[in-house]
Amino acid sequence: MCEPITKNFSVEDQASNADEEIFLDANDDIESQKTERNNFSEIARINPETNVIQVKNCSGDDFIDLTTFPTEHTPKRIINDTFIVDEPYELVPQSRTELPKPLPPYRFSVWSYIKEFVGKDLTKITLPACLNEPLSALQRPAEAFSYPEPFKQMIQPNIDPVTRLEYVAAHYAITNSSQCYRLYKPFNPLLGETYELRNDEKGFVFVAEQVSHHPPIMAMLFQLPNFRGYGVIQVSIKFWGNSADAVVEGGWTFEFFDSNEKIESVITYPFPTTTGRNIIFGDLWIEKHGTIPIINHTTGHKLYMTYKKKSWFNNRDLHAVEGVVVDKNGKELRYLYGHWTSEIWSCSPETYKRILANPRLRKGHDSKLLVKANPRPPNSEYCFNLPLNSLALNDFREGMYLPRTDVRYRPDIRCLENGDLDGASAEKHRLEEKQRAARKLREAKGEKWTPLWFEMKYNPYNNSDEWTFNYKYFEQNFDRCPDIF
């Protein structure tokens, strides 16, 4: 069995080899570790009674158990030989950690439901509620906010453009990590359906609206101080028998502002293709593939992020990513590597060449960990394998004033998260019939659907017309919202 062990090199090698981490066999020599461990004895130690790692407290006058600190994802610093733990940066506080009624995994035959739809677009087909998780597709983008630290880094004013690109790419990649374990699909949003998530203390707000039903298109706004993001997602799902491809058109446009509220830089990126394997036979698994360009339109820097396909011969490239940052002249500046299911690193081109030459080498002297996947919550198999923050996306938070089109009022999703599968199926069918009747009525009157909160405008960065937030939502004039539920 192999374990990652930090291997020290001689002084002569430190310029190129210091702090490199190699996967060594358990029987490899680890005597070189002892000197480095002894150097940390003044700020950290092993409690001889409990065998627990201890570090100095903030005042530096005593040792306390490392287990009393927050999770491994909390930023940690050492200042003047004192171990400091920063307050965790949260965009939205976690209001609950499980569904109202956890549901044991149930068995069903996927093939019996979808065998007649081979080669067709599943987004245009009515599927039973037993294939769904208790979320709307409008809420899937909100799962990105369970990784706030990269946002904290990327929105810093006057940040280096290369570093900003690194965090944008790493953040999007890691937000997909929970998809590996999920066997169910989100509910298709109804036309006019909305979703809001906000935290006024942080100046954070996310608003999404289903602006088109055929084709299904959702439009989104995401704001923080010094930052605004707007995006469009149009998904088509092709079913091929034992696999399905989710082709996602659209993308995000991120605007970063300086302290004078002027645009400092603009970054855009599209989405890779997602393929589900072994849908009918075998163990279901997900892979993403394709190369996406992440472009800083202000400085000309680009990051080409490649999501690799699994090799026919081994699992080395399973869920692997590889990215390269170049300047406006095409010069390579940094490389990104890792797996979108676990962690994303960056390093210099020289270090990355060393990593490619030595498969056992995990990081080099200038490697930087950008982001690490969150662990799965306890009892996740009884909560549709949802990530932790998704368990609270349907929760009503104190002080909310929402339109009646918000996902939280959708009865089929509410039934499913309350463990009522039969009720969810009945409500899903009722809502779909109501939507069809409303469409026929509009057609009979010669009317067209007009979204309330997004308007079609020209996006100069993508050179195309896109659905753009009109800010009327914040007026909270919700009386004119349609009755879609």
441-451 burial code (b ≥16 CB/10 A, e <16): eeeeeeeeeeb
| pLDDT attached to residue 35 | 38
State the CB neighbour count (10 A cutoff) for residue 373: 22
Task: Tell me how far apart the alpha carbons of residues 212 and 234 are, in angstroms, rounded to a whole number.
Answer: 9
Evaluate the omega torsion of the peptide bond into residue 215 and state whether it is cis, within 30 degrees of 0: yes
| pLDDT attached to residue 4 | 31
Distant-in-sequence contacts of 412-418, Cβ < 8 A, 24+ apart:
412/129, 412/187, 413/134, 413/135, 413/136, 413/187, 414/134, 416/129, 416/132, 416/133, 416/134, 417/99, 417/100, 417/101, 417/134, 418/99, 418/100, 418/101
What is the identity of the amino acid at 230? Y
Output the furthest CA–CA distance in the chain (Å, rounded).
Answer: 82
Are the C-beta atoms of residues 265 and 229 closer than 8 Å to each other? no
Are the C-beta atoms of residues 292 and 319 closer than 8 Å to each other? no
Q: Calculate the CA 399 to chain-centre distance.
A: 27
pTM for the structure as a whole = 0.80
Give span(s): CATH 2.40.160.120, the chain: 110-392
Full pLDDT tens readout for the chain, 485 residues: 333 333 333 333 434 444 555 543 333 433 333 333 343 344 455 556 554 445 444 444 555 544 333 333 333 333 333 333 344 567 888 888 889 988 766 665 665 666 666 666 666 667 788 889 999 999 999 999 999 999 899 998 889 999 999 999 999 999 999 888 787 889 999 999 999 999 988 899 999 999 999 899 999 999 999 999 999 999 888 877 777 888 899 999 999 999 888 999 999 999 999 888 877 777 777 899 999 999 999 999 999 999 998 877 777 789 999 999 999 999 999 999 999 999 999 999 999 999 999 877 878 889 999 999 999 888 888 899 999 999 999 999 888 999 999 999 999 999 999 999 999 999 999 999 999 999 999 999 999 999 999 999 999 999 999 999 999 999 999 999 999 99
Please tell us whether the domain made up of 110-392 is placed in CATH 2.40.160.120: yes
Q: What three-state secondary structure class fits 261?
A: coil
Task: Tell me how far apart the alpha carbons of residues 319 and 287 are, in angstroms, rounded to a whole number.
Answer: 6
Are the C-beta atoms of residues 176 and 386 closer than 8 Å to each other? no
What is the identity of the amino acid at 414? R
CB proximity list for 261: less than 8 A, separation 6 or greater: none
| pLDDT attached to residue 278 | 77
Task: Tell me how far apart the alpha carbons of residues 86 and 58 are, in angstroms, rounded to a whole number.
Answer: 11
Are the C-beta atoms of residues 349 and 336 closer than 8 Å to each other? no
